[in-house]
Structures are given as structure tokens and as C-alpha cells.
Amino acid sequence: GAVVSQHPSWVICKSGTSVKIECRSLDFQATTMFWYRQFPKQSLMLMATSNEGSKATYEQGVEKDKFLINHASLTLSTLTVTSAHPEDSSFYICSARPLEVLDEQFFGPGTRLTVL
Amino acid sequence: GENVEQHPSTLSVQEGDSAVIKCTYSDSASNYFPWYKQELGKRPQLIIDIRSNVGEKKDQRIAVTLNKTAKHFSLHITETQPEDSAVYFCAASPYSSASKIIFGSGTRLSIRP
């Protein structure tokens, strides 16, 4: 149980285009999901907390108009990187917390974004 | 907000020896401390966690200790094996319905045969 999926697993796009990444909890419901970004040889940096039915909470320094988050249901959150540039190339990982759990999170497999 | 510091950044140990990774945190409200193992290009994998109502937890070759007064927690791996080679992250999180997990900077562990 507690499986989280992400789609796509990798994507290559041209500079200036937008890319949408999906995060799904497959066998549980999650009111809260989290989006992380990880550059090579670095740690996971929390970008935002995605709240079902309400606006996402962004960490300091993360542009909310560039990284659009939508958490429309208890099993799906999406991250859209708008007007992507090469510096947005990174490994994006989501995580989700089951409704009945207050601490442990379950991570998706990640999405490798390459912006040309 | 929470800040988690992790040391060392790299660690090389002889197969069979023990490895210790140490972390400190800043937010006294944090009470959940997971440890993750991450292999290249993969998701972080939870290997052990500890909550603030206990001081030590062990699972086979892996143990974690927590000192809430000093805001320190450590990961101990005994009898290391080649498959233990990976990047390890400590993390801290306050216990609430919207609590986020903040990661340390990571330790690249290499096991020498």
C-alpha cells in the first residue's frame, strides 16, 4: 500500500514552453501533497505544499506564477512549470501523506525535466 | 522555519565497519525524524524513522538515536555491506496536519570492499 506515482517519468521540452507533471496517490487519499526539486548532487528542496481544494503554500523564493500547483482531488496534484528555461531543468519529486497519518510521507518516483 | 544540518557530506568506510551520520535541527517543534536512502535517479526510500517520544530505535543493522535537548539525531549502520552505498538524507518535521519534511544536505556513503 501507500503507492505514489508520477507522470511523466522524464520530459524534454523547448525553452519557453510549459510542462505539466502529475502526482497521484494510487491506493490512499491525501489532502496534502508536497513538491520537491532536486538538482544534481544536492538535497531535496521543498517547493510548495499542495492542499486539496485550496491554494498551494509556496516556500520562500519559489515563484508561484511560474510553478502552478493544482490539487483538484484527494488523489491528484499537478505541477505546471510555465515558460520553462534551462535553469528549470531538474528532478521534480512529489510526496503525499495519507489522511489518517500526520507525519510519514510517501514519495513518487520523480520526473526528470530537461529544458533545451 | 526548520533548518537541518547534516555531516559528513561524504563518508567512506571499509566493508563490515560501522558508519555514523549526524544531523542537527533548529525547530524545537519538530518531533518526527525520518532517514532516507536515495540511489541515483530514484525516489528517497524511508529506511528508519524516530519520533520524539523515544530516544533510540533499531531495525536490524540500522539504528537511530535522538537527543531532543541538544536537537541532535544520528544514523548508525553496522556491519556495512556494498549495497549500503548510496546517498543518505536526514529530515525533520513538526507533527501537525500540514507538517512539511525538511531535508538535510545529504551524505554520500561509499563502502570499500
The pLDDT assigned to B19 comes to 98
Mean pLDDT score of chain A, rounded to an integer?
A: 94
B64 at interface of A, judged by CB pairs closer than 8 A: no
Q: How close is the nearest chain A Cα to the Cα of B16, in Å?
A: 26
Report the C-alpha dihedral over residues B55, B53, B24, B28, rounded to 10 degrees. -150
Other CB atoms within 10 A of residue A75 CB: 18
CB distance A109–B97 less than 8 Å?
no
The residues in A 36-95 lying below 8 A from B, measured between CB atoms, are 42-46, 49, 51, 57, 91, 93, 95
| Residue A97 parent element (H or E) | strand A90-97
CA distance B41 to B59: 26
Span A37-80, pLDDT tens digits: 999 999 999 999 988 888 899 999 999 999 999 988 999 999 99
The answer to whether A62 and A47 have CB atoms below 8 angstroms apart is: yes
Span B4-52, pLDDT tens digits: 999 999 999 999 999 999 999 999 889 999 999 999 999 999 999 999 8
